[in-house]
Amino acid sequence: MSSPFDVYRMEGRVAVVTGAASGIGAATAGVLAAAGASVVCADIDPAGLATTVAAVEAAGTRAIAVPTDVTRRDQVEAMIAAGVAEFGRIDAVCNIAGAMFPGRIEDLDDDTIDRGIGLNLKGVLYGTQAAIRAMKDQGSGAIVNVSSGAIDLPYAGIGVYAFTKAAVAMLSMTAALEAGEYGIRVNAIAPGMTVTPFTTWRLNKPDGTIDQDAYDEFMEYSKGMSPLGIVGEAMDQALLIHYLLSDASKYATGQIFRVNGGQTWAW
Ligand SMILES: NC(=O)c1ccc[n+]([C@@H]2O[C@H](COP(=O)([O-])OP(=O)(O)OC[C@H]3O[C@@H](n4cnc5c(N)ncnc54)[C@H](O)[C@@H]3O)[C@@H](O)[C@H]2O)c1
């Protein structure tokens, strides 16, 4: 018996997830696997990748780990090729890998600028290009790129991060316009504060263990950013990404989707 929820199922689909070793990427790999997709897990962190692949396989679907530095065009193309070689096709690509590059505009040096653009912008661009090329002949596919709530309001000290994420939003809208004729949808998400190592690393003590007092204080502060009084979790973003990669969102393309707890200001 068919159900309106069948459009969320992804059996027979092949999804590529970058940043799959941690946080939003790991949660996304898990959700896509639970929806039935085979998952190509890519990251520069081999230990984290192994954990994610084991979790995906525990969900009963197939997964491969493809160590990938998304700042390298050749490695991104090899990642897509590995997925095609293993599973025969690519239906969904989410370009999630990214990092914070702190620094005030007046102080930014070329190394920080180049690393920020290399990871947060070129990494997503290479992934989008390789995805479109892999999908265009089959006449279908979906791409989700991860931007940030940082595109919605300026915040001092995160200039490279914010302007690379703003570029990801426009890159995604432009790619959607161009790839629509191939039946490929491209969307971006702009997450609000989401608890992952991306947000909690600064709360670690020098020995790497969590400073519980600092963590608790940060969580209380973060809850105050949302009118709901709660903090976002990686799963909140992963479920949105799943929607955007599944046929449930067949009419959605060229958009920036925000799951951010209604947050209207940064910390
Ligand atoms: N957590 C948040 O509050 C938040 C908010 C807005 C946007 N984002 C964005 O979400 C994305 C995922 O962040 P997260 O919170 O899951 O962080 P995370 O640190 O948990 O995960 C990021 C992953 O990217 C990987 N990575 C880093 N450099 C890489 C490279 N060169 N090649 C391949 N992989 C690489 C890391 O190894 C890590 O597994 C990022 O693009 C981040 O900017 C996060």
DSSP-derived letter for residue 193 is S
Instruction: Give Rg (Cα) of the chain.
Output: 18
| Predicted local confidence at residue 207, as pLDDT | 87
| Predicted local confidence at residue 176, as pLDDT | 98
pTM, two decimals, is 0.97
> Is 148 close to ligand 1, i.e. is its CB under 6 Å away?
yes
Q: Give the position of tokens 């989401």.
A: 194
- Residue 47 corresponds to which tokens in the numbers above? 């230990």
Polymer length in residues for the chain: 267
Report the catalytic residues: 161
Angle 73-87/123-135 helices, nearest 10 degrees?
Answer: 40
Count of alpha carbons within 13 Å of 153, Cβ hemisphere only? 7
Block mean pLDDT (10 aa), the chain, length 267: 94 98 98 97 98 94 97 98 98 98 96 98 98 98 98 93 98 98 98 93 84 92 93 97 98 98 78
> Is 19 close to ligand 1, i.e. is its CB under 6 Å away?
yes
Domains of the chain listed by start with CATH number: 10-195+233-257 (3.40.50.720)
Q: Which of 50, 71, 188 is nearest to 126 (CA)?
A: 71
| Predicted local confidence at residue 237, as pLDDT | 98
Pocket test for ligand 1, best of 17, 18, 24 (most atoms within 8 A of CB): 24
| Predicted local confidence at residue 209, as pLDDT | 87
